[in-house]
Structure 1
Amino acid sequence: MQKKDADYEMLKKLIHQKLGFNCEQYKDSHFKRRIDVRLRATNSKTYGEYVACLQTDRNEFPELMETLTVNVTNFFRNPEVYDVIEKQVLPAIIKAKSTGLRSIRIWSAGCSIGVEAYSIAMLLKHLLGDDFKRYSIKITGTDIDKESLARAQRGVYSRMEVKDVRPAFLNKFFTKEGNDYVINDELKKITQFKKQDLISGPKMSGFDAVFCRNVTIYFEKELQEKLYMDFYNALSKDGFFVMGKTETLLGPSKDTFKPFNSKERIYQK
């Protein structure tokens, strides 16, 4: 093995040890692109130099984690998807739950700073109106990045992050504090955020909808196939799966999910 390759392997091992981040499942090209951002930032010419930097500068690991998990995120991203969710997906779930326990369970996988989970929470509150309290609603956001999860729990967002929130929702569901917008307690009560590795973490189940958008694009094909079946198994009967616009069902999941709205990448169990 050439020294460059050995250094790269050493770097991946170090990241796994220190950050619990499984580099092996990511496409090499994507992974290297993210790593190169930190090489440039630390003036490291090689992977070996960057390993040395990580071993001497304890502030570099958080920076690296941020770079590895960063994604552009704001409320109601891809409004056309949320339009179908508001007008068709959530009403179907609510209708199916209108008797009995009235329990609604939704999973936002790879939730980052929580904007997707809270976007869904706003729509549910809006659709249910006065009936909201008659339902037991739990929206679970999971991610591997502790910083993002802490932000999701705080529920404090910038003007840029709330730019696509409709004005009525902004007035109703947020409190303005200085330049920040804070999610109200009613929505915080129905959301929970926890650390979960989609790849090696425990399997989850019992959901009426699973959202995993623009997360699997970074994974190798075999892993994507496995994850899509994990999501299938995480759903209750007739549950919905919402994926990213650039993602496609692969392997067995192609035949097990039925299309609900293929254009917006929404499928049903």
Structure 2
Amino acid sequence: MDFAEFKREVHRRFGLYLDGYKEPQLKRRIDSLISLLQVPDYAAYLRLLSQDSQQWQRFIDKITINVSEFFRNPEIFARLEKEVLPSLLARHRNLKVWSAACADGPEPYSVAILLNELAPAGRHQIDATDIDTSALDAARRGVYPSRAVQAVTPERLERYFRREGDHFYLQEKIKHMVNFRRHDLLKDPFDSGYHLILCRNVVIYFTTATQNELYRRFYQALAPGGVLFIGATESLFQYRELGFMKVAPWFYRRPEV
């Protein structure tokens, strides 16, 4: 079994679509797992994934790279807080937000904190999705190590978290503002009517063709006037061809008309 057949079988058996990922990076990660496990080939590794749920979770963790933290890139989140969200709230009392590939939740919870401060009376909808169900379970628990909250201000840390030892427990009110569900960006349908979509530091792992397709689908998922917020490591060079207007670095708006 070669690597192409392995990817097809993973899709057929588990519903996980791997063709959109950059192949050299993906193959390197999977080959490193196979080497560590001393599995002889892809066919044997596929059998192991079918039989051992822990190895399947290890596989998911390896290819998705669930690294996140609250207010990641604080200077960029400051622009979200002071410019982008106020602009959206000036036109919409209640915001519909999607945090795509949310990992274990710091990103959508950061948005929830901002909306709780900027528009506490609003009935906002914050959807947060990821392909990794274990990460989603951790997100729903809302318990984080100090590394994840290092960019949170002392005032917010005191207001929104309870510390027990080395762990920080997020306030229930903020947890209840976010709806978590499993979603595969490469194969599942997108909802629509979002005023803000965050997809940060994820698209870089996909091929150029897949990136462009995702950005096209994000555009369609936005309401007119809605904003796409991408990661600090990413660039949307063809934003005009896709229909976007550049609001600021890392922020792109779907025009009103």
Scaled by the length of structure 2, the TM-score of the pair is 0.91
Q: How does 1:46-195 map to 2 (within 5 A)?
A: 46-51=41-46, 53-54=48-49, 57-97=52-92, 102-128=93-119, 132=120, 134-195=121-182
- CA RMSD in angstroms, aligned pairs only: 1.9
Partner of 2:235: 248
Structure 1 residue ranges without an equivalent (≥5)? 1-5
Partner of 1:44: 39
Deviation at 1:7, TM superposition (A): 3.1
d(CA) in 2 for partners of 1:199 and 1:46? Answer: 26
Provide closer, same or farther for how the CA distance between residues 253 and 9 of structure 1 changes in structure 2, counting only shifts above 3 A. same
- Structure 1 runs (4+) deviating above 6 angstroms are none
Question: Secondary structure of the equivalent of 1:267?
Answer: strand
Question: Secondary structure of the equivalent of 1:192?
Answer: strand
Deviation at 1:251, TM superposition (A): 5.0
Deviation at 1:67, TM superposition (A): 0.9
Deviation at 1:15, TM superposition (A): 2.5
Which of these residues, 196, 201, 222, is aligned with residue 214 of structure 1? 201
d(CA) in 2 for partners of 1:28 and 1:144? Answer: 19
Question: Secondary structure of the equivalent of 1:95?
Answer: helix
Mapped pair 1:23 → 2:18: yes
Letter in 2 for 1:108: S
Partner of 2:253: 268
Higher mean alpha-carbon deviation, 240-249 vs 10-19, is at: 10-19
* Contact 1:111–1:143 (CA under 8 A) maintained in structure 2: yes
* Contact 1:224–1:250 (CA under 8 A) maintained in structure 2: no
* Contact 1:257–1:267 (CA under 8 A) maintained in structure 2: yes
* Contact 1:232–1:257 (CA under 8 A) maintained in structure 2: yes
* Contact 2:104–2:138 (CA under 8 A) maintained in structure 1: yes
d(CA) in 1 for partners of 2:166 and 2:130? Answer: 26
Mapped pair 1:236 → 2:198: no
